[in-house]
Amino acid sequence: MGFYKLLAFLIALTVMLTPLLSLKGTRSHGTEIPKESTSEADKQSDKINKDTGRVKVLLKEENKVIEVELNEYLLGVLAAEMPAAYHEEALKAQAATAYTYLLYRRGVQSEKPDATLKGADLSDDSSTHQGYLTPEEREEKWGDKTKSYEKKLAEAIKSVSGKVITFEGKPIMAAFHAINSGVTNSAKTVWGGEVAYLQSVVSTGDRLSPDCTKTVAIKADELSQMLATLEECELSGEDQDWIGEIRTTSSGYVSGISVGSKEYTGIRFREATGLRSAVFTYEYKNGSFHFTTEGYGHGVGLSQYGADYMARQGSSWEEIIKHYYTGVEIEEI
């Protein structure tokens, strides 16, 4: 099976299996990466689609398609997906991923259009594609800082204009996440198949985030209802015995967890319980399960917090991109 065919199959298979902690305009607080609900990425044209002067976006909540200039679209994506207070080099890296993902989506759409998009290139739903904030939404979010933030983001976008992240000559599916546990996740752990440019790498700065480690208590009866959404899950005996062995990858992500008499992936368990990440431990006490998580998001690809940390340590946006995406090139079109 070809690489891109395998990638498309894995994405389509797992689009419903990854928790979508979607807070519009706040991916830095832990929403998920863009995913494909259809398509075969290996069928993309070998030529990068340069027709990017205008972008058609499906506004999911309003159920309508709008058409905007490319730079306006990218500005809206950055506003939705990364704090404007982040370092300029981190914002440039995010702008390059947003542009790359747009081209990736267009390549997919050109071969197998998704009818649910109603003719749009992609939607503003960050649980399936990437977020986008309209000028009105940006003003509501930023208030009197709107002009200064928009200027900062526009300058970041301009500085990486026409730059696309590629692997084997094609735009990558530019996965990104908010924070990780100090090591990024691999696509193989999340989606079950190897993706050459989405490997696990060290991301030292993430552990410095005040939002890296969080603990949440879930009462036994509430957890029982959550676990009922797991396929063929049957709980019996004392509630403290519901969860058994936990297996982890070398980078600390839960790869398997026993619940009742069945084993599930860490990703599937996270989806059922709404945990912030698949790096977690738990303790049972006083009738509740206390889960301690590290990171926020699936952990694959670019870490936004890590990108900001690297930038503040002197890394360029190109160095950030090539750190988080293994073996990629940055091409100018």
Can you give the length of the chain in residues? 333
Give residue-wise pLDDT tens across range 113-165.
Answer: 999 999 999 999 988 899 999 999 999 999 999 999 999 999 999 999 999 99
Residue with structure tokens 């790498």? 201
- Residue 303: band (very low, low, confident or very high) from pLDDT cuts 50, 70, 90: very high
Least confident of 79-83, 112-116, 221-225: 112-116
In angstroms, the CA 134 to CA 269 distance is: 34
In angstroms, the CA 166 to CA 162 distance is: 12
Phi/psi of residue 302, each to 5°?
A: -65, 130
The SS3 of residue 155 is: helix
Phi/psi of residue 213, each to 5°?
A: -110, 125
Spatial CB neighbours of 153, under 8 Å, sequence gap ≥ 6? 75, 78, 79, 84, 91, 95
Give residue-wise pLDDT tens across range 24-71.
Answer: 333 433 334 444 432 334 444 445 555 558 999 999 999 999 999 999
- Residue 2: band (very low, low, confident or very high) from pLDDT cuts 50, 70, 90: low
pLDDT at 234: 92
Angle at 106 between CA 153 and CA 192, to 5 degrees: 95
Written as one string, the DSSP assignment of 91-154 is HHHHHHHHHHHHHHHHHHHHHS--GGGTT-SEES-TTTS-----HHHHHHHHGGGHHHHHHHHH
Q: Where are the domains of the chain?
A: 3-208+297-332, 213-294
Neighbours of 70 (CB within 10 A): 15
Contact 12, 38 (CB under 8 A): yes
The rounded mean pLDDT for the chain is 87
Residue with structure tokens 């503003």? 124
pLDDT at 25: 34
Q: What is this structure's pTM? A: 0.83
pLDDT at 126: 86
pLDDT top residue among 319 and 50? 319
pLDDT at 51: 53
In angstroms, the CA 128 to CA 22 distance is: 10
**pLDDT value at 19 more than 50:** no
Helical H segments across the chain, by residue range = 3-14, 70-81, 88-111, 135-142, 146-159, 187-191, 220-227, 266-273, 304-312, 317-324
In angstroms, the CA 136 to CA 234 distance is: 48
pLDDT top residue among 129 and 19? 129
Give me the amino acid identity at 164: V
**pLDDT value at 15 more than 50:** no
